[in-house]
Amino acid sequence: MFEWFSSPEAWVALSTLIALEIVLGIDNIVFISILVGRLPVAQRDKARRLGIGLAMLTRLLLLFSLAWIMGLENPLFAVLGEEISGRDIILLFGGLFLIGKSTLEIHSSLEIPVHEANSQMGASFMSVLVQIAILDIVFSLDSVITAVGLAEYLSIMVIAIVVSVVVMLFAAKPIGEFVDLHPTIKMLALSFLLLIGFTLVAEGLDVHVPKGYIYFAMAFSIGVEILNMRVRRNSEPLRLTKKINE
């Protein structure tokens, strides 16, 4: 099972796969952070840990069902000359769910809250976990297919997935708190999820969208927003000085 320990190529594959799994987990972290943010503060850490635990469990279950995963690539039926597989259906419905959820979250963020307590209404602990579990399946499918394509040994895939989820576990809380404290970052994150939703729908319709373009756009947008945040922070003392002088 661990005969690859003496193979340099296997270690390169493991390192590459860990890095890719962490990158692929970013959208999962953002989604979990936004959903958890609708819960009372006392429940957020527990929901965050359970959500990431579900992500790891889903990935490992799919990984140990390789025959089923490979079978998802086989066409089930054809629509207008296009062959539709089980993977396409999962990606299509997952993308539509993500588009719908992101749109509702954006609408909710733009609404003026009447009271802090009212902003938490409709977000029960179980409903948040169910929504996380649904999207974990979609994100895990992409992650596991990547793992199968890059690594030869099952143990390498398992190690890469466990390591990436441990990284997600430590990164989720600071990312979630950062998103909660900065409304513009939250709106940007929701826009990313909307973009990922459209990408999943496109993939489900057999239109390949290179992931590198998506992640570059996300990184560039975050960089610009961080610069905007610094500009706003630096300009705040000037505004206060002007008010005092007036």
Tell me, yes or no, whether 231 lies in a domain: no
Residue 214 in any domain: the answer is no
Q: Please tell me the total count of domains within the chain.
A: 1
On whether residue 51 sits in a domain, the answer given is yes
In a domain, 223, yes or no: no
The confidence score (pLDDT) of residue 54 equals: 84
Q: How far is CA 53 from the centre of its chain?
A: 14
Q: Is residue 24 part of a domain?
A: yes
Residue 226 within any structural domain of the chain: no
pLDDT digits (tens, 9 = 90+) for 162-218: 888 888 888 877 877 777 777 777 788 778 778 878 887 887 787 877 777 777 777
At 39, give phi and psi (nearest 5°).
Answer: -90, 160
Residue 236 forms part of a structural domain:
no
With respect to residue 245, please indicate whether it lies within any of the assigned structural domains: no
Long-range contacts of 183-190 (CB under 8 A, 24+ apart): 183/109, 184/225, 184/228, 184/229, 185/222, 185/225, 185/229, 186/34, 186/37, 186/109, 187/106, 187/109, 188/221, 188/222, 188/225, 189/30, 189/33, 189/34, 190/34, 190/102, 190/105, 190/106, 190/109
- Give pLDDT < 70 ranges for the chain: 1-5, 66-72, 111-123, 142, 145-146, 148-152, 236-246
Q: What is the pLDDT of residue 117?
A: 45
Range of the domain at 139: 7-209
pLDDT at position 111, please?
66
> What is the pLDDT at residue 2?
61
Q: Could you identify the residue written with the tokens 């190529």? A: 9
Q: Tokens 């940007």 identify what position?
A: 188
Report the predicted TM-score, pTM, of the whole model to 2 decimal places.
0.64
- Which of 24, 40, 27, 22 minimizes the C-alpha distance to 190? 27
